[in-house]
């Protein structure tokens, strides 16, 4: 869906949006199959009281495309002049590719929210950018350490693969050229420490060699990008022999 933004906020009267929070302040992560629903909580104030929302739209702020449908609204009165109206947005991955005429993966990134709010006395206000947030492609990261068990002081090879959702074909593909950190948690410890950083190859694969000095768990950690979600793999526990 291509949305044209208003040049600036406009309206009539003293009604205003004073605060907007998208998905409780988190990123919206979209994969290849699961329907995603997330809230946009809009705080609205007017001296006559708030009637509600008459329009909510959200889309990528750089290219104007978006694929979230406004599927419901509930308003909670906080005082005589203020209400929090929450719009529910719904994303169905199977609809994404047909929602635009570009590579849908380019719609990932920073999105903005437009809303029109209305007061009991007929005042209204159109705001063209009341919030910004990120819609990201889901990612998957796996780890395998071998041999298991390993002799103390011997070489241990830790491999893995980083993939991310492709919204065009609804499959996961390797994410190349990305820095991923290898982390280790010694047996009996409660936390991981970073050992080194490795970049994924052209197919998203990872491989490195370390010295096995203690028993424990190895994992990969990807910090994410503007378009792709952060992810940490499940740890692979390696015993010494």
Centroid of chain to Cα 101: 23
Question: Which residue range(s) make up the domain with 179?
Answer: 139-238
**In sequence order, what DSSP letters do the residues of 71-99 get, joined into one string?**
EEEEEEE-SSSEEEEEEEEEE-HHHHGGG
- Whether 187 maps to a domain, the answer reads yes
Same domain, 111 and 33: yes
Residue 105 sits in the same domain as residue 182: no
Q: What CATH number is attached to the domain comprising 83?
A: 2.60.40.1220
Record the tokens describing residue 26, joined without a space.
């988190």
Assess if residue 95 is contained within a domain.
yes
Check residue 8 and give its pLDDT.
53
- pLDDT category at 9 given cuts 50, 70, 90 is low
pLDDT at 4 over 90: no
Residue at 2 is within a domain: no
92 and 126, same domain (yes or no): yes
Is the dihedral angle over the CA atoms 125, 129, 133, 135 positive or is it negative?
positive
- Three-class DSSP category at 214: coil
**pLDDT given at position 2:** 37
Same domain as 224, residue 114: no
Q: What is the pLDDT of residues 191-218, one digit of tens each?
A: 999 999 999 999 999 999 999 999 999 9
Q: Are residues 129 and 154 in the same domain?
A: no
Report the range of poorest mean pLDDT among 9-13, 115-119, 192-196. 9-13
Q: Is the pLDDT of residue 40 over 80?
A: yes
Which domain-ending residue is among 93, 116, 136? 136
- Mean pLDDT across 122-150: 96
Mean pLDDT of the residues in the chain: 95
Token pair of 212 as six digits: 């096995």
150 shares its domain with 207: yes
């Amino acid at each position: 869906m291509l949305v044209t933004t208003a040049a600036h906020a406009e309206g009539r009267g003293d009604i205003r949006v004073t605060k907007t929070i998208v998905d409780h302040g988190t990123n919206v992560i979209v994969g290849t199959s699961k329907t995603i629903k997330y809230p946009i909580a809009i705080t609205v104030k007017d001296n006559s009281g708030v009637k509600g929302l008459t329009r909510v739209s959200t889309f990528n702020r750089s290219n104007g495309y978006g694929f979230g449908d406004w599927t419901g609204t509930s308003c909670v009165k906080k005082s005589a002049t203020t209400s929090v109206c929450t719009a529910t947005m719904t994303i169905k991955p199977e609809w994404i590719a047909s929602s635009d005429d570009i590579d849908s993966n380019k719609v990932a990134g920073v999105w903005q929210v437009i809303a029109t709010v209305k007061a009991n006395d007929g005042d209204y206000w159109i705001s063209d950018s009341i919030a910004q947030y990120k819609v990201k492609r889901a990612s998957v990261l796996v780890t395998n350490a071998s041999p298991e068990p390993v002799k103390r002081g011997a070489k241990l090879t830790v491999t893995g693969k980083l993939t991310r959702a492709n919204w065009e074909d609804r499959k996961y593909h390797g994410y190349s050229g990305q820095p991923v950190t290898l982390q280790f948690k010694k047996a009996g410890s409660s936390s991981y420490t970073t050992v080194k950083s490795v970049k994924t190859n052209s197919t998203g694969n990872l491989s490195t060699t370390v010295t096995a000095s203690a028993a424990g768990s190895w994992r990969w950690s990807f910090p994410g990008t503007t378009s792709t979600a952060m992810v940490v793999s499940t740890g692979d526990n390696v015993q010494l022999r």
